[in-house]
Chain A
């Protein structure tokens, strides 16, 4: 089973800053099956990125995804107040889905 490791665990940043989150897979994965979600306290997750780099409907273009093989990133070009949340990567392979442990972006 593929393990997804996200880093950093927590970041403290200010609005307007740029942030890049990492998702590392324990073995090479198919980019088509790599997604990112945002979750705010008390809410369900929201799909941000699928296919490693395609923004889901209604997602602002300050969010971008990239990477291939074992290393993937989610970048927020300029943090807005509503972007402070936990971000999860997710992968599908061998008929199973797995989530990373999450990266929390908190306000400094």
Chain B
């Protein structure tokens, strides 16, 4: 079955970086995109950016441009999202989700990775 498996919870100090992985299975990885969405405690969903898994092109929300890097490894059928210069406001659950090109929605989601930023 189609699934996205994310890496485990992380605890980081302010100023550090964190890299979250998202392993895809059950479909042709390069035929879809991978989006990254985060959700701070009690807050709305916030789209961060996405990668075309076929050609590796990326697009970021302006809010995260320059601080977030999304990559993929087609041989591993995995996508990665790195956030640098972490601050307490980055404490959130980070989700990866499969992107459907024609409709630009997300039809399969990972279970989420909790990132806690604390000194």
CB contacts (< 8 Å) of B107 on chain A: these are: 47, 50, 56-57
Could you say which of B11-19, B67-75, B79-87, B109-117 contacts chain A?
B109-117
Q: Which of A47, A57, A98 contacts B47 (CB 8 A)?
A: A98
Question: Do A44 and B95 touch across chains, with their CB atoms under 8 A apart?
Answer: yes
Measured between beta carbons, the chain B residues less than 8 angstroms from A1 are 62
By CB atoms of chain B within 10 A, which of A37, A47, A51, A99 has the most? A47
**Complex contact A99–B47 (CB within 8 A):** yes
Minimal Cβ-Cβ distance residue in B for A33: B104
Chain B residues, Cβ within 8 Å of A20: none
Q: Which of A66-74, A76-84, A89-97 contacts B (4 or more CB under 8 A)?
A: A89-97
B92 CB to nearest A CB, Å: 13
Which of chain A's residues has its CB closest to B111's CB?
Answer: A44
Residue of A nearest to B104 (CB): A92
Residues 14-71 of B at the A interface (beta carbon under 8 Å) = 35, 37, 44-47, 50, 59, 61-62
Interface range for A: 20 to 34
Instruction: Say whether B105 contacts A50, CB under 8 Å.
Output: yes
Q: Could you tell me the dominant secondary structure of chain B's interface residues?
A: strand
Q: Beta-carbon contacts of A21-58 to B below 8 Å, as 1s and 0s? A: 00000000000110101010000111100110000110
Q: What CA separation (Å) do A105 and B28 show in the bound complex?
A: 36
B5 sits at the interface (CB 8 A) = no
Name the B residues within 8 Å of A32 (CB-CB): 102-103
Using A32-B103, A92-B104 as known contacts, say yes or no to A97 and B35 having CB atoms under 8 A apart. Answer: yes
Cα-based distance from A33 to B112 in the complex (angstroms): 24
A sample of 16 more A-B contacts (CB under 8 A), given A35-B106, A45-B37, A97-B50, is A1-B62, A33-B103, A39-B45, A44-B109, A44-B111, A45-B45, A45-B95, A45-B106, A50-B105, A88-B45, A90-B105, A90-B106, A96-B47, A97-B35, A99-B44, A102-B45
A residues neighboring B (CB under 8 Å): 1, 32-33, 35, 37, 39, 44-47, 50-51, 56-57, 88, 90, 92, 95-102
